[in-house]
Amino acid sequence: MHKMPQIITIQVNGEPFTLPGGSSVSDLLAGIGPEEKTVATVVNDSIVRPENRPAASLEEGDRVEILIFAGGG
């Protein structure tokens, strides 16, 4: 009998989001859609650089910001 995967709830851009426990920032991006190089990622106010995303595992309650460049003056 195998263990049921744990589900965690985090905040992504201010909205609740659920994903399997042990997921990384890279896993989150793969599930949501943006190309890795076109976004900046911030977890609990700390920048997570692209090269660190695969190893950056997410925990219950983490606040994740996924940011892009949009038009602006």
Partner 1 sequence: MDLLHLGSYTLSSRLILGTGKFSSASVMLEAVKASGAELVTVALRRFNREQPGDDLFTPLTSIPGITLMPNTSGASTAAEAVHAARIARELSGSPFIKVEIHPNPQHLMPDPIETYEASKILAKEGFLVMPYIPADPVLAKRLEEAGCVSVMPLGSAIGSGQGLATAEMLRIIIRESNIPVIVDAGLRSPSEAALAMEMGCDAVLVNSAVAVASNPPDMAEAFAEAVAAGRKAFRAGIMEKSGLAAATSPLTSFLGSEA
Residue numbers at the binding site for partner 1 (CB under 8 A): 13-14, 32-35, 37-40, 42, 45, 47, 49, 65-73
Q: How far is the CB of 11 from partner 1 (least distance, A)?
A: 12
CA max distance for the chain: 58
Residues belonging to the chain = 73
Nearer to partner 1, 6 or 46 (CB): 46
Name the nearest CA neighbour of 20 among 4, 42, 2, 41: 4
We find the least distance from the C-beta atom of residue 49 to partner 1, in angstroms, to be 6
